[in-house]
């Protein structure tokens, strides 16, 4: 198990979720399909404070990289 560090993608949870997202994006999943598969609210980490923060920032990075990060998503990440 990797330790989480100061970067967005510095731990197992972050890399796992980010790479899963990127793999599905590369397979041709639509933005709607990706958003349904990787929601900010209602994720598997919803009740785990640190893991939720890691998940939200890593998926937020993935959203941003593919051009699907909205102002609403960014506001959620900032909260």
Are 40 and 73 in contact by the 8 Å Cβ rule? The answer is yes
Tens-digit pLDDT profile for residues 60-76: 999 999 999 999 999 98
Are 3 and 15 in contact by the 8 Å Cβ rule? The answer is no
So what's the pLDDT on residue 7?
A: 63
Q: For residue 72, what are its two tokens? A: 């609403």
**Could you tell me the pTM of the whole model?**
0.81
Q: How confident is the model at residue 13 (pLDDT cuts 50, 70, 90)?
A: confident
Task: Please name the residues in contact with 39: beta carbons below 8 A apart, sequence gap of 6 or more.
Answer: none
So what's the pLDDT on residue 4?
A: 56
């Amino acid at each position: 198990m990797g330790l989480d560090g100061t970067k967005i993608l510095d731990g197992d949870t972050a890399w796992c979720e980010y790479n899963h997202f990127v793999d599905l994006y590369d397979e041709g999943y639509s933005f709607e399909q990706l958003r349904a598969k990787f929601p900010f609210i209602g994720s598997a980490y919803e009740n785990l404070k640190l893991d939720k923060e890691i998940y939200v920032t890593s998926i937020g990075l993935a959203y941003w990289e593919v051009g699907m990060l909205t102002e609403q998503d960014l506001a959620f990440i900032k909260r």
